[in-house]
Amino acid sequence: MVPSQSSGMLDGIYVLDLASVGPAARASRWLADYGASVTKIGPVPRDDGVQITPPAYAYSASRGMDRALFDLKSEMGRDAFLALANTADVVIESFRPGVADRLGIGYEDLCEDNPGLVYCSTSGYGQDGPRSGWAGHDLNYLAVAGYLHCSGRGPNGGPALPGATVADSAAGGLHAVASICAALVARGGSGRGAYLDVSIADGTLSLMSLYVDEYLATGTEPGPGHNLLTGRNAWYDVYEAADGGWLAVGAIEPRFFANLCSALGCERWLKHQNDDAAQDEMRADFARVFKTRSRDEWVADLGPADTCVSAVQTVPELVDDEQYCARGVFIEIDHPTEGLMGQVAPVLAGQAGADEMTISDQRVTNTAARLAGAGLTSDRIAELLDEGVIA
């Protein structure tokens, strides 16, 4: 059985995802949460080592998706996949540039019989250019796009490691989702699909455009502390409280800054918000005052007082956070082998609810059912299963 899927904005869109991890897997997760029907494509058991198997909880445990296995290196397996791809609206792949073409499952191979197909290739550096064949991970893309250089410094004086995979998620996964949705809208008018070259490094550059554009326009070189968002000002920083907890302060607007100074008893800085010469002493004053009370005491007073102060929460804290809980962003879903599993619910604006979604047993595949839906006969499917080119 194909898992049930809540209706959503992408209801009726069928997606094939050839990736097991990374930005492409994030993209198909979000597309499914928008209501698309997603089939995860993997290798047959004899080729299990070809793909990484993520932990059971990863990517929301593939909730609302099904699974089909093919030997894409065999002619029969490839042809079976091509038959399924003829029924798809979207194909997402994350092979090294050129690999999909060599396997005979590239865009040109698929769009000949499916001209409305939106084909999304996700890669680190894009399909061309001198680094297109390089391996990389989230940290590498944050490095080359200037993100790390503009971030704070760690104990050794070098850029601090980020606390989340910003490149894989925002610059890769959401980049792919936005591109796919735009291509689907365009297809509604033209009937033609599109080929999308989603480069994670390019996506990271787009996230850095505020700083890069500043440099190109003014010649000012961005870096740690170069402007209000990267540590230049005392009123946009983090401070330790008396109990060792930390507070984030982002009092950019003058009225928020004034409220903060008044609440901290630091009124002498009211007329010096943007005075560079005052920032070090202002920061020391703020740090001294924040150390007089616990984190949660400060948040209780300053949070609702238009000061732009919030707690730096741990993950265990945020899952009990009153704001998140009030918005219903956490759910429990029954995993076929792991039992009840907590997850982040579909939280992006307009996404379908997860209340009707199920998690497929990854030991069971839907290959035969999907191929039958693509028009293959039961005899042909039986032959493919006997040959071991599908599973």
Averaged pLDDT for residues 60-77: 92
Task: Show me where the domains of the chain are located.
Answer: 14-206+328-387, 228-240+246-311
Give tens-digit pLDDT for 158-213.
999 999 999 999 999 999 999 999 999 999 999 999 999 999 999 999 999 999 99
Same fold for the domain at 14-206+328-387 and the one at 228-240+246-311?
A: no
Alpha helices in the chain (DSSP H): 22-33, 75-85, 99-103, 107-111, 138-144, 147-150, 166, 175-190, 200-207, 209-218, 254-264, 279-290, 295-302, 315-318, 322-326, 367-373, 378-387
Give tens-digit pLDDT for 119-156.
999 999 999 999 999 999 999 999 999 999 999 888 88
What CATH code is assigned to 228-240+246-311?
3.30.1540.10
Give tens-digit pLDDT for 306-342.
999 999 999 999 999 999 999 999 988 888 888 888 9
Averaged pLDDT for residues 270-299: 98
331's enclosing H/E stretch is strand 330-335
CA angle at 275 for the pair 269 and 276, rounded to the nearest 5°: 120
User: What is the per-residue pLDDT for 2?
Assistant: 41
Between 90 and 62, residue with greater pLDDT: 90
Q: What is the mean pLDDT of the chain?
A: 93
What CATH code is assigned to 14-206+328-387?
3.40.50.10540
Out of 244-253, 273-282, 338-347, 352-361, pick the least confident: 352-361
Between 2 and 92, residue with greater pLDDT: 92
Helix (H, G, I), strand (E, B) or coil at 279: helix
Catalytic residues: 137, 168
CB 151 within 8 A of CB 159: yes
